[in-house]
Amino acid sequence: MGSNFFNNRQLPAQQRRVKNRRDADKLIHSSYTAFLLLGTMALHDQFGFGGARLGKWIDKMNELKECYEKGLVSVQDLQSMIKNETGIEIKF
């Protein structure tokens, strides 16, 4: 008899996968937030960016992040564009 319900042996594995994904999402979000804060501080302290310019930078970063999350741009695309436009090679 087919059922859409998990048996007792499957449920813990499914719960672990959900928890692991949730933990990964939290780590990704906190890493992005830390990167955004570090970049904002560096731009302000080292290069004198004020609130308006920092706001534009943050908006652009969030826009690029959304494009990446939607699959519209890859890390390799960004890496190639940066190298072609600036000569800076960022390896990972």
Domain map of the chain by residue range?
10-86
The 10 Å Cβ neighbour count of residue 79 is 15
Tokens of 80: 């190639």
Cα separation, 41 vs 58, whole angstroms: 12
DSSP class of residue 71? T
pLDDT of residue 50: 98
32-87: pLDDT as tens digits: 999 999 999 999 999 999 999 999 999 999 999 999 999 999 999 999 999 999 99
Tokens 């609130």 correspond to what residue?
51
In this predicted structure, the answer to whether residue 92 has a pLDDT above a threshold of 60 is: yes
pLDDT at 6: 58
pTM of the shown model: 0.73
